[in-house]
Structure formats: structure tokens, C-alpha cells
Amino acid sequence: MLDKPAGGAGFIVARDGHLYEGGKRFRIFGVNTAFGANFPMHADAEKIAARMAKFGINCVRFHHMDNEAAPSGIWSADMRTLDPGQLDKLDYFIAQLKKNGIYADLNLHVSREYPGMAKWEGMPSFFKGVDNFYPPMVAMQRDYARALLTHINPYTHTAYVDEPAVALIEINNENGLLGIWWNGALDGMSDEYRDDLQARWNRWLQAKYPTQEALEKTWNAGDEPAGAEMLKDAGFEHGAGGAWVMEQQGGAVAGASCKGGEVSIQVSRTDGIGWHVQLGQPGLSFSKGKHYTVSFSAGANSPRRIEIVASQAHEPWNQLWSTSVELTGDLKQHRFTFQPSEDETNGRIVFSNLGAAEGEYQLKGPSLVPGGSFGLQKSERLGSIPGFKKSEMGMRSEAAERDWIAFLYDTESQYWAGMRDYLRHDLKAHSLIVGTPGGYSPTSIQAGMDVVDSHEYWHHPQFPHKAWDMNDWTIDNVSMAGVPNGGTLPSLAERRVAGKPFICTEYSAPAPNSYSSESILLLAAYAALQDWDGVFLFAYSHRTDDWDTRHVTNFFDVDQHPTKLATFPASVAMFVRGDVSMGKSVTTFPVSPQEAIDASMHKGSWWGMEQFGMERMLPLRSRVQFDFSGAAGSQAAFSGTGKVTTSDTGQLTWDADKSRVLIDTPRSKAFIGRITGEPIKFKGVIIEPKSNTQNWAAITVTYFNAGATPQNMTPSDKMPRIPRDILIAATGYMENTGMQWKSPAHDSVGSNWGTAPSLVEGISAKIHLPSNNGLHVWALDARGQRKTAVPITRTESDGAVIEIGPQYQTLWYEAEYPDDKF
């Protein structure tokens, strides 16, 4: 399905809000390679590129190249110069991809820790946020970009700035000053970084306020003195009961005792989820935009972190504000002033994350009062105003806080625009430029790039005690198909920008999720409905040289994941070929520059269309987009309160009542979700799935034409009445040989992933096809070659019924009609 070589029609360009290859639309179906997988040996590179092309992969995102020195990374030992041997492997791999019709997406800064830069305890990974403003780090980013992109690949004889097979260049992965600051990760910055940011802050203020009096007039006008106590029984006279609610969820066990106005909470058993033990008080009212001050003293018998949350005291339990504090053995006073993100008449204040570890917590003197904010302190003068810490945000007047957020927003905007212009104008790079995924940086800022990006994961692994502890993690092992809130899809869709190509460069339902074969099917179908321009699975491989493990080795790699790979052809047909039609209508949400600042005041960088009125399930019905140009918006009539959401094309059905998704187009049919025993009737096809291990399956029926189908062919192009070839894929449960689940919930295997070969469940079903005229059906082997003939039963209407099942030991089947019959 790929045009070869990649770049044969020139550079991929952005036109009319979409990607184009020559004169036709170009949609990316991509994968990531990470760490050492970016540098395969030459002989391996040839096989990897050819295999990717067979599965319809047309772009590879080169990710985490900059993390380490050779042999897993691109650097020499000094972490400043490129290693010649690694560069040679990368060059050959990219040349092989190009030969096979596969483009490259080159990532610049991902996970390099800048050499020689001062660290501090608790700093964000890879100096994120800081490298958006600190000049030496920005200079290192530019040095790396120059060294890599102006390097001439000896196998293509072209520098990467001039290489049309490089579709995209990404500046800085999952990074943004505003978002990192919002998470509190910059509160403890080392002096040189804090001083640099503060100097920028004061220059920004001096440019806006000509005098001290002007600053005082604006900031001090919003002072809100502290009001009356809102909490009941703040001294715990009635224990951890009455006005207070002590919660224990799941397998967590805890108790509480009170003495002298202090409550002691003893956690004797945990289940890995911190909020399963928490103490809170409901029945509180909050007003959006108003200030509230919470204070308390707290300690613990060993160092640990708790969270303080203002939230709804009812479903869906939305957070209105939150922060966290580190506790030590001694009681320590804490005070926070905050503004709730929305109005709430039945809210609560909660001390949470107590279930993260066994032990004892002490809490004394909690207080919650309205007000407590101020503008300027008497000692503060224009030119020497300290920067605001996230932990102190809310103490200042709304005008002061708005200025600080606007300053961070402007500073971050200057970084992205500066890096974009450096690549385009200084280095003369011709490829399209991506900044970072929307959400990590405000989408309104990323709208200034050539292409807008996004990332999402369905139930990413959780590490309750230590990050990336491979013995101590869990996933929520559930299917996304048909979940009432649409899963990851509305969150992705609400970052689309009008007039800009939109891609998702990282997506996964991580292993060992036993429903994960649904992931790319659902993404491909709804990406086509939304008319996006690219999707990338994370990841193809992280491994340096082991390319034939015959089993799943980690959360993310798909190159040896049988049930995910088997869904690729159907997914490519739905999205790249365009089997699923784009939505008929589009709802546009206009956002002005000031509204973007206002949204950042309450959500940091993580705001989307829902903050501007989008109903959650609207993206499963029709297209949605932001517009930052100042144009008027358009609202589509939609009510997302029902249990079934059908796309306005009639092709996609998201059924929360039956926990399934149905896809019905002229050339692609799919049943994904819970098996209820009923036949599923599509136009021209009936699927009757039978019960199995999980009573769940993903079954696709994809029609292909005789011979090769050009990439991005529209459904009407050269389409015969009944296409000649049909590919049927049926996937469900999978595990490795000897894989050991740690609990009946199948939510973790720890480090016991098992060995080769992977074991897959053979899915049983009856498939009704519209004609039996010369039809032949085969079960396919692991390479997709015909293995065993499958019997066909005629129907009274001259249709055909085939029965698939575990007896064929396969995940996919081919049906063929002879050419002379049609």
C-alpha cells in the first residue's frame, strides 16, 4: 500500500489544514522506535523496514535517541558530540525505511539530561520546563539540532534538513514551562534557574507597569481578607466521624484515633492505590474565581507524601483544586490559598493518598476559610518581585496571579517560536515542525507550529511507590470499547486546531491489558471520523538488538505482540485508505488570547474543549476543533446523555449499554467488545461471535481489491461491487508462556512476563458473507500465508457462512472470490 520511495513526490506539506504528499492527502500510520531500537545493525534494519512496510506502517518516530551514550543512544561518552558508529546505524536505518516507502519523524530533545547543569532534589525529569527558558539549555538543544539535521546521510547523500523522507521534526517531547510549573515541579529550582526566571518576570512586569503605583493599584484591588471558618469539628471533638468521613476502599485497611485535638490515622494494609485511604469533610460550597485558604499541621512516622484536594462530594467526583505536601516525623504547619475551578454546592476537602504506604499519619488544626489573598506585600518593589511558586499560588490577588500565568505563557510561547524559527530559518529545515503534544503545553501555543500533536494512553501503568519499579506496578485491565465516557478519544479530539494538521504521536493500551487488540482499531476508526492526519503506536520496539523474541517483553512494544499486529491491516484500511468517512458536521470552539490565559489560570496547560462547553461524547458523533483565529464558533446540536452514540455518518456506533463498538462501512466491518450471544448484522455481513475466555473479542472483516490499493484511496475509487479479497481478523485474550498474574484482577505480572511463545486465544464465530459464488477461504499462518482451507456453508439466499475458531490456530483468515466472477 506504500508509495516507494518515501519522499518521491517531494516533502510532505501542510495545506488546507491537512498533510499532503504531492497532490494527494497523506495520512500517517506510524510507530515509535525508542532508545537502542533506533540503531539496529544493518542486516536487521533491512528486515525491520521491509516488515514494517508489509503491515502498512508509513512513518517511524525516532524517540529517546538522545537519552544515553552508545550503544543505546546517539551520544559519545561526553553526551555532547554524536557517536559516529551510532550515527551510521541511524543513517542506514532511515535509508532502508525510505526505500520501503516509510517516512521519518525525528525527535530532538526527549530525555537528555543536559551535561554540566546543576540538579536539585525533586527536579522534573530531563530538566523539563527549565529548558524552555534557561539559555545554556536552549543553546544545547540548538547545537544538537544543527549537528543532527545538517549531517549528510551517506546512504541517501542528503542532509536531513534537505531530506524529503523526513516528514516531521519535533522540538521537545512532553514539555512546557507552564505545565511543568503547574505541577509544582519548579518550586524547588536551584538558584541560577530561579534567578534567571525571576529576572525575566521583573522585566515583563516593568514592560507592563510603568510605576510602582500602577502595579499596586492593579494587584491590591483584588485583596480578599480571610472570612469565617467553614469546617465543622475542626478540633476532632467527635473523632474521625460525624462531620469528618474516614474512607477505606478496595483492600486497604486503616483506623483512626483522636486525642488533644489531633487525629492519628494508622494504615495497616494497602492495595497500591493511594486514595483508597482518605479523610475528608463534605457539605462545603465553593465558588469559581473566589479565594479559599486551607491550613493544617501534619506529620508522619516516616517521610511520605499526602494530597490535599477540594472536589465534588458526589459523582463524578471532579477535582476543583489539589496540591501535595511531603511529611516528616514532626508536625509541620501548611497553608494554601486556592481558587476552585468551578462552582460547587456539595463539595468537600480531603486529605488523600494515605493509602500509598503502611504507617501512621497525624493531622491537627485543619481550617478552611474564604478569602486570604493579597496583591503586593509592603516590602515588594517593582523590579524585585519574587516569582510565584505553585505551592503558594492562590495567596495572591487574582490580578497578580493572572499576570504570573500570562508571563509563563508568553515566556513559553517565545521558546517554541524561537526554536521553530531556528530550525526553519537558521538551519533551513524543509520538514514540517512539531512542538510538543497539546496539554503538556497549551494547545493555543502549539497552534503556532506546522502540525499540532497529542498523546494518550488507555490505563498507563501505575507505580505506587517508586517510578518505573518493574516489580511494583498495576494496570486497570479493562476494555475501552463502549465505556460511558468515551475513554481516551474525547480527550484526544479536544486538542484539534482548525487549519492545522492534527496527529497523535503516542498511543497505547499497554500490555498486559488482555483487551488491547482493540486499541489501534478504535483509534483508527475515530481518527478517520475526526479527519485527523496521523496516528502512531507507542512503540514498535525499545530493544537494541533482539528483534525476534516471539513474545511480549514489556508494556509498550508491539513488534512481537500478536493480537495487536493482527489488527494493523484493518486499521490501515479504516484510516489511511479512508474506509471510515469523516464526520459530516464540525463544531468549532473559538478561543481568544485572553480566554486562553483564563483557562490556564484554572487548568494550567491541561485545558481543552470541555472547558469551553464541549459535551464529552460529541467527538464520537462528529468533528470538533478549536479556532484561535478570532472567528465565530458553530455549535452542533447534540445531547450525550444516552447510552448509544452513533456517528453522524452512521458508520460508527459506541454502545455503552452493551460495552461494544460497531463499525460498518462499505469496505470495513468490525465488532469490538463484549459478547452477548446475539448476531451482529452489518450491511452485507453478519458476525456471530461465540462465548470465550473473557466473553470479549475484536473481529474485523476488511475488503481489499485485486492487486495493490494506492495509499489514501477514497472508498469510491475503482471499487468493484464485491471486492475480490477479504481479510478477517479475530483477536481476544493473549498471554506469554509462563506469565504469572499477581492477582485475580489480572492487573499486574510484576517482572514475571513469561517466555516465548505468546499464547493467543482462537476466537470462535460464524461469519456470513453476501455471496458463495466461487468463494474460497483459508486460515493464514503467522506470516499471513495460506495454511488450511476453511469449509463454507451455503445459505438459502446463495450467501456463505464460514465458522472460525481455535481449531485453525490462527488470528486471521483470507477469503477470495475469483476475478472472472465479478
Closest among 303, 297, 255 to 279, alpha carbons compared:
255
Q: pLDDT value at position 716?
A: 42
pLDDT surpasses 80 at 639: no
Indicate if the pLDDT at residue 86 is higher than 80.
yes
Residues 743-758: tens digit of each pLDDT: 999 999 999 999 999 9
More confident residue, 37 or 260: 37
Cβ(672)–Cβ(701) under 8 Å?
no
Which of residues 86 and 822 earns the better pLDDT score?
86
Q: Tell me: the pLDDT tens digits for 686-696?
A: 999 999 999 99
State yes or no: cis peptide before 498, omega within 30 of 0: no
CB 441 within 8 A of CB 178: yes
pLDDT of residue 721: 46
pLDDT tens per residue, range 199-234: 999 999 999 999 999 999 999 987 788 899 999 998
% of the chain beyond a pLDDT of 70: 96
The CATH T-level fold of domain 26-193+406-575 is TIM Barrel (3.20.20)
Distances (CA, A) of 210 to 200, 204, 213, 402: 16, 11, 9, 18
Chain segment 572-584, per-residue pLDDT in tens: 999 999 999 999 9
Q: According to the model, what pLDDT value does residue 640 have?
A: 61
Q: Grade residue 709 by pLDDT with cuts at 50, 70 and 90.
A: very low
What's the pLDDT band for 622 if we cut at 50, 70, 90? very high
Is residue 230 a contact partner of residue 248, using CB atoms and an 8 Å limit? no
Task: Give me the torsion for CA of 240, 241, 247, 251, rounded to 10°.
Answer: 80
Task: Say what the pTM is.
Answer: 0.89
Arithmetic mean of pLDDT over the chain: 93
How confident is the model at residue 272, as a pLDDT? 77
Residue 714 pLDDT exceeds 80? no
* pLDDT over 70 (residue 708): no
Cβ contact 367:301 at 8 Å? no
Long-range pairs of 14-21 with CB within 8 A, sequence gap ≥ 24: 14/432, 14/450, 14/451, 14/500, 14/501, 17/498, 17/499, 17/500, 17/501, 18/501, 18/531, 18/533, 19/167, 19/432, 19/451, 19/501, 19/533, 19/534, 21/711
In the predicted model, what is the mean pLDDT of residues 788-803? 90
User: Quick one: average pLDDT of 599-627?
Assistant: 95
342-390 residue pLDDT tens: 999 999 999 999 998 899 999 999 999 999 888 998 899 999 999 999 9
- Residue 774 confidence (pLDDT): 87
Residue 717 pLDDT exceeds 80: no
Q: Using DSSP, state whether 175 is helix, strand or coil.
A: coil
Q: How far apart are the C-alpha atoms of 45 and 37, rounded to whole Å?
A: 10
CB 567 within 8 A of CB 521: yes
Is 644-821 CATH 1.10.10?
no
Summarize pLDDT for 99-131 with one digit per residue, the tens. Answer: 999 999 999 999 999 999 999 998 999 999 999
CATH of segment(s) 245-370: 2.60.120.260
Question: What is the average pLDDT across 172-193?
Answer: 96
User: Phi and psi dihedrals of 530, rounded to 5?
Assistant: -80, -10
Task: Parse the chain into domains and list their residue ranges.
Answer: 26-193+406-575, 245-370, 586-627, 644-821
Q: Residue 291: pLDDT band by 50, 70, 90 thresholds?
A: confident
Give the pLDDT band of residue 637 (cuts 50, 70, 90). low
Note the pLDDT of residue 222: 74
**Residue 224 grid cell:** 480578599
Whether the pLDDT of residue 772 is over 90: the answer is no
